[in-house]
Amino acid sequence: MQNTYHELTVKLNDDFVDFIADFISNIYGEGLELGEGQIILRSESDLTFVKDALVSLASTLGDSIQMEYTLEEKENIDWIKTYQDSIQPIEAEKFYIFPSWYEPKEELINIKIDPALAFGSGHHATTFSCLEAISEYVEADARIIDVGCGSGILGLACKKLGANIELCDTDPLSVESCKENFELNEENYDKLWEGSIDKAEGTYDVVIANIIADVLRFIAKDLKSATKEDGYLILSGILDKKEELVKESFKELTLEKRTLKDEWVTLVYKK
């Protein structure tokens, strides 16, 4: 262990803490600490690249999320163990999501995800709601695609229900994270690629897209085209104040279910 470590503190509107934390976890392989209106990262390596990525993200989103950054060098402590001790497994319908330092539960469908190492551990409201929807709408042998797969947790849930799963993400680090988590769970996917749903072939029984509202609207046509007749489209990552904008983009479909959790909305449509 080095004598010092780097600490990056990100100050932002509390509504966006979970969303930005998920983005950071996708590019940063160590522990995060979440607080009211802030995110703290600690590493023995320089964290400037994370700050630069957040600046780029804010610019891409039209500066709709304002963030302030403080980067410091501090005396080292065993913060990774402290972080691990703070993470608890969760149950979401049929699924038990647990980090590798916990034991699985025989009565549930187990998915092993290390939150410090991957985007999407089930703790975020959107991921949790998607797992609930998957429990209800995904059947064995169905053809599924997870668009913006992140850690691959949703695809793993589908696979463990016996479905055939394809996954994609525009971030190469997400693609690698997804691959690693399938290996960690000793599961196989049918296809995994860097890119979006426009590279998909054919149609799917269920299309899952847990992204953000603006991206869902941007790729709405491709999402609908990829969904089979009588198939389902699970959309999440939608802040409640953006819900009506998303609904407008999918108004020709039948809304089967709406879930609101911690200001985040998940919509299930039938084509």
pLDDT tens digits, 33-44: 888 899 998 888
With the CA atoms of 46, 149, 62 and 221 taken in that order, what torsion angle do they form, in degrees rounded to the nearest 10?
160
User: Mean pLDDT in the chain?
Assistant: 88
Q: Specify the pLDDT at position 91.
A: 85
Q: Which of 83, 114, 143 is the last residue of a domain?
A: 83
Q: Does some domain include residue 89?
A: no
177 with 262, same domain: the answer is: yes
Mark whether 263 and 138 lie in a shared domain. Answer: yes
Residue 101 lies in a domain: no
pLDDT value at residue 76: 65
Neighbours of 157 (CB within 10 A): 29
Domain end call among 49, 83, 117? 83
- Which pLDDT score, from 0 to 100, does residue 225 have? 96
Integer Cα distance of 223 and 209 in angstroms? 8
The single-letter DSSP state of residue 110 is E
Q: Count of alpha carbons within 13 Å of 194, Cβ hemisphere only?
A: 7
216-224: average pLDDT = 95
Does pLDDT of 119 surpass 60?
Answer: no
Which of 50, 68, 83 marks a domain boundary?
A: 83
Residue 133 within a domain: yes
Instruction: Give percent of the chain above pLDDT 70.
Output: 90
Residues 53 and 158 in one domain: no
Looking at residue 8, what is its pLDDT? Answer: 92
Which residue range(s) make up the domain with 27? Answer: 4-83
Measuring CA to CA, which residue among 214, 211, 196 is closest to residue 64?
214
In the prediction, which pLDDT does 32 show? 79
pLDDT band at 255; cut points 50, 70, 90: very high
Q: Tell me: the pLDDT tens digits for 98-114?
A: 888 888 998 899 998 87
Are the C-beta atoms of 266 and 133 separated by less than 8 Å?
A: yes
pLDDT digits (tens, 9 = 90+) for 181-196: 999 999 999 999 999 9
Same domain, 153 and 76: no
Q: Which residue spans within the chain are E strands per DSSP?
A: 4-12, 32-35, 38-43, 67-75, 90-92, 95-98, 109-112, 143-147, 164-169, 191-194, 204-210, 227-239, 254-261, 264-270
Query: Per this entry, what is the length of the chain?
Result: 271
Residue 258's identity, in one-letter code, is R
Q: What band does 133 get if pLDDT is binned at 50, 70 and 90?
A: very high
- On the CB side of 21, how many CA atoms lie within 13 Å of its CA? 27
Phi-psi region of 268 (alpha: psi -120 to 50; beta: other; left: phi over 0): beta
Give CA torsion, residues 37, 43, 46, 52, to 10 deg: -30
User: Which SS3 state, helix, strand or coil, does residue 161 take?
Assistant: coil
The dihedrals phi and psi of 201, each to the nearest 5 degrees, come to: -120, 130
pLDDT of 118 reads 35
Instruction: Assess if residue 105 is contained within a domain.
Output: no
Per-residue pLDDT at 132: 94
Question: Edge-to-edge, what's the strand order for the sheet holding 90-92?
Answer: 90-92, 95-98, 109-112
Look at the chain and report how many structural domains it folds into: 2
84 pLDDT exceeds 70? no
Does residue 244 belong to any structural domain of this protein?
A: yes
Indicate if the pLDDT at residue 116 is higher than 60: no
Instruction: Return the higher-pLDDT residue of 52 and 77.
Output: 52
CATH number of the domain that residue 79 is part of: 3.30.70.120
Class of residue 214 by CB neighbours under 10 A (exposed 0-12, middle 13-18, buried 19+): middle
Q: Residue-wise over 20-57: b if at least 16 C-beta within 10 A, else e? A: bbbbbbbbbebbbbeeeebbebbbeeebeebbebbeee
Residues 76, 152 share a domain: no
Determine what percent of the chain falls in helix, strand and coil, rounding each to the nearest 5.
35, 35, 30
